[in-house]
Structure 1
Amino acid sequence: DSRIIQTCLDALERILEVGETLKDQSPGLINPYALNVEEAGGMETICDLQSHNLDDIYHRSKRIIDKFFGAEDEEIDMGENFIGYEQNDMTVPQGGFNF
């Protein structure tokens, strides 16, 4: 059972690597095979494998998620309507509290 899972993860990783080479040719610069896996619900299965009792299966599934489905490091556009708070914005009353 675990050998079959390891073989499938290895094959999936290789397929997704081929998809990375096709990314430049696809609309939106998206890995077409990663998109197919995601649309078929494969992400849930890969995520579920991270709780497998074999460390190798955990590491392979984590590597696939991080490499092909991981969130990009994107900066959040705050825009002009964003209300932000800085740590130094708070004023502390002098003299403490009176009860």
Structure 2
Amino acid sequence: MDSKIVQVALNGLENILRLGEQESKQNGMGINPYCALIEEAYGLDKIEFLQSHENQEIYQKAFDLIEHYFGVEDDDPSVVPQVDENQQQFVFQQQEAPMEGFQL
């Protein structure tokens, strides 16, 4: 595949994603609608595949798109284990189970 065509396509995709990011901020949605459409059409898989491209510029552009627009969300602090500083171990919250049997 011609590297120039891929670069132009990635630049166009970046412009679309940037527009979606601006629209989501203006509308207060917080979610880029174009990211969801790209994922539904398996576009994210194609972008991830380009991270193994021999052209360094294409690799970097694909990496940057994934990092910026499809990056991992922040961890939910309620599910992240706490660390006991004294024992250097993880401390997990204990689930409170009912003390009695189930009632019908």
Which TM-score bucket, shorter chain as reference? 0.7 to 0.9
Match of 2:12, SS? helix
TM-score, length basis structure 2: 0.72
Q: Larger radius of gyration, structure 1 or 2?
A: 1
More strand by share: 2
RMSD: 2.3
Q: Which runs of 5+ in 2 are unaligned?
A: 90-104
Secondary structure at the counterpart of residue 87 of structure 2: helix
The structural deviation recorded for 1:72 is 2.3
SS at match of 1:9: helix
1:27-46 pair list within 5 angstroms: 28-46=29-47
Distance verdict in 2 for CA 1:85–1:45, change over 3 Å = same
TM-score (norm 1): 0.75
Matches within 5 A, 1:3-22: 3-22=4-23
Identity %, equivalent residues: 36
**Counterparts in 2 of 1:34 and 1:89: CA distance versus 1, 3 Å:** closer
1:95 match? none
Once the two structures are superposed, the pairs formed by residues 4-83 of structure 1 within 5 Å of their partners are 4-24=5-25, 25=27, 28-78=29-79
Which structure 1 residue ranges, 5 or more long, are not aligned?
Answer: 91-99
1 or 2, which has the higher helix percentage?
1
Aligned residue pairs total 86
User: Structure 1 residue 52: deviation in Å?
Assistant: 0.2
